[in-house]
Amino acid sequence: AILESVADLNKLNLKFDFIVVGGGNAGNVVANRLSENPEHSVLVLEAGGSNANVLPIIVPFFSPRATPNTPQDWNYSTVPQAALNHRSVDYPRGFVLGGSSSVNYLAYTRGTKEDYDRWAKVTGDDGWSWDKLVPYMKKNEHFVLPSDFHNATKEFNPAVHGFTGINSVTLHNFATPIDSRIIETTTELAEYPFNLDMNSGNHLGIGWEQQTVKDGSRSSSATSYLAPQFVARPNLNVLLNARVTRVLPTTSNAFRTVEFVQDLNGEKYTITAAKEVILSSGSVGTPNILLHSGIGNSSALTSVGIKPLHNLPSVGQNMSDHPLLLLSFLVNSTDTWETAERNTTLAAEQLAQWNATGTGPLGDSPLTHLGFFRIPDNSSIFKTFPDPAAGPNTAHFEFMFGNGKFRAPPATGNFFSITPVVVSPSARGSVILNSSDLFADPVIDPNLLGDDLDFFIMREALKSAFRFAAAPAWKDYIISPFGINSTATDAELDEFIRENAGSIFHPVGTSKMSPKGATWGVVDPDLRVKGLSGLRVVDVSIAPLIPATHTQVSAYIIGERASDIIKAAWN
């Protein structure tokens, strides 16, 4: 059941084998899979509220409205970012059942074979390699054809997909005027080849966006892994509005007890799991809980007044995220997002169509196509810096295409956006504490573009976007880049980047996985917290290196594989 109060939970008079902290992207996978065994009772504690009936979460096209600064967002912001002219930027994380899978922009991308093979190599566990993870990708994925029934044979490769999984994935149902021009560009410029399916393990090139959508509505870990048939299991319970403050030692080095509140000024409750506590609170939430529990760098904890219980210096370190650049072009068309944003009648018609059939422009994510590209291998930059990508078939940067301008378009004009993203960043940041106050926000520093190579890649990506936009396919369509000149000097481009870059919100690595016995890292390859028992981390914070892509699929497959590892440990 999905419960709202501790009193309702107590009425059930249950004992729990597993307590999952965070009903987010990965946490709900674990909760579902562990509760497949009726002998195992599972409790999920989620700090946020219900995902039901929240329109910006449900309507795919409204995903940019789900955050920042909404009731479904933790509403964090970063410390001033040195490379971004010391700007502090919004740092949304889902504060709702489904976690960030309930508020993200729905792009379904797995990353490359090389990304996961590198995980296997650095952790010494072949189970994290691409070939071993593909079955988990298919267990997660329920691919469905687009809801407008258009012929999609040239938009994806069915051979690489899963059709019997839990989480729905589909293609766009609604054509936009940029679609044919993007595909035409792939035939005009050799630099931008077409890729029929970027989820094959090789993502280089441009392809149609695949999205986590079912029947025109968002498919999240809450709508899929906690669908009514699953939460009907008597051994699966979810408590909403339950914010875990710490994990506590149950016996000397077993941390199977959690402390939580339902009201920041109210009572503190504790519950002990008979078998394990699984932290799935995400790349900000998980290190935050570990640090408050005294698990982290002992001297840093002492300096903020927290009693250290277990010295694990990597907790909250190694944070890696993808910087993006908001870039748009003024276009010679009125058939873009801006028109409905400025015309309430048209907006109401679109919403009525979506309400009636789940189709139309609102039934799709705002990203129409994605492209993944490399800085040429012979670039002189690689004489100074080693190639940061996982391998020669893994991108340095990405383009996300959209039929309008992201974030606050001006009062007039219509736009096309190419959003460049650095997907193989070298900079590392951190999540640390500056206070023992259990409810104070942690100090979040993703260190965006904080490495010279990352900045170089972003500048090259920006120049590449200008080349893309100069293809014949855009001749009568694009008028000019907006807010920057394509003939700008490097110094001018750099200033534009400093003022307009931000995060795409893919933090990973703050509970980094390392080989068993390593003196660095936070969890072993079986995701147990090093040196402790009864406590695992299962969310994207365990990623040893950031995959060169959007991170929700990684969260799903981490949840799927972890579930098998945990089941095997208790059988």
Which are the contacts of 237, defined by CB distance < 8 A and separation ≥ 6? 1, 2, 3, 9, 12, 14, 16, 41, 42, 43, 44
Nearest CB to ligand FAD, comparing residues 111 and 481 = 111
Tell the residue number behind the tokens 């290190």, with chain if given.
287
3-state secondary structure of 274: coil
How many residues of this chain bind ligand FAD (CB under 6 A)?
Answer: 41
Nearest CB to ligand FAD, comparing residues 113 and 550 = 550
Is 443 within any annotated ligand binding site? no
Nearest CB to ligand FAD, comparing residues 202 and 357 = 202
280 in contact with ligand FAD (CB under 6 A): yes
Q: By C-alpha distance, which of 549, 448, 477 is closest to 105?
A: 549
Nearest CB to ligand FAD, comparing residues 44 and 532 = 44
Of how many residues is the chain composed?
A: 571
Residue 107 beta carbon to ligand FAD: minimum distance, rounded to whole angstroms: 3
Nearest CB to ligand FAD, comparing residues 146 and 366 = 366
Task: Looking at residues 97 to 116 of the shown chain, list those that interact with ligand FAD (rule: CB under 6 A).
Answer: 99-101, 103-107
550 CB-side CA count, 13 A: 23
396 is catalytic: no
Beta-strand relationship, 478-481 and 328-331: antiparallel
| Contact by Cβ (8 Å): 368, 178 | yes
324 in contact with ligand FAD (CB under 6 A): no
Residue 333 beta carbon to ligand FAD: minimum distance, rounded to whole angstroms: 25
540 in contact with ligand FAD (CB under 6 A): yes
Task: Looking at residues 81 to 100 of the shown chain, list those that interact with ligand FAD (rule: CB under 6 A).
Answer: 92-95, 99-100
Is 538 within any annotated ligand binding site? no
From 238, 555, 557, 562, residue interacting with ligand FAD (rule: CB under 6 A): 555
Residue 504 beta carbon to ligand FAD: minimum distance, rounded to whole angstroms: 7
Residue 540 beta carbon to ligand FAD: minimum distance, rounded to whole angstroms: 4
Sequential DSSP letters for 537-568: E-SGGG-SS--SS-SHHHHHHHHHHHHHHHHH
Which are the contacts of 282, defined by CB distance < 8 A and separation ≥ 6? 22, 24, 25, 93, 94, 99, 100, 539, 540, 541
Mark 159-184 as b/e (b = at least 16 C-beta within 10 Å).
ebbbeebbbbbbbbbbebebbebbbe
Residue 73 beta carbon to ligand FAD: minimum distance, rounded to whole angstroms: 8
What the block records as the tokens of 123 is 């952790």
Residue 67 beta carbon to ligand FAD: minimum distance, rounded to whole angstroms: 5
506 is catalytic: yes
521 in contact with ligand FAD (CB under 6 A): no
Cα→Cα distances 397→90, 185, 413, Å: 22, 18, 28
CA distance 28 to 266: 26
Task: Looking at residues 28 to 57 of the shown chain, list those that interact with ligand FAD (rule: CB under 6 A).
Answer: 45-48
Backbone angles phi, psi at 271, to 5 degrees: -140, 145
Task: Looking at residues 215 to 244 of the shown chain, list those that interact with ligand FAD (rule: CB under 6 A).
Answer: 243-244
3-state secondary structure of 200: coil
- Among the candidate windows 24-32, 125-133, 183-191, 352-360, which touches ligand FAD by CB under 6 A? 24-32
Nearest CB to ligand FAD, comparing residues 323 and 481 = 323
Query: What crossing angle do the helices spanning 552-569 and 130-140 adopt, rounded to 10°?
Result: 100
- Of the candidates 142, 203, 369, 550, the residue annotated as catalytic is 550
Binding residues for FAD, as ranges, are: 96, 244
Active site residues: 506, 550
Give the footprint of ligand FAD on this chain (CB under 6 A).
21-27, 45-48, 67, 92-95, 99-101, 103-107, 243-244, 280-283, 285, 289, 505-506, 539-540, 550-553, 555
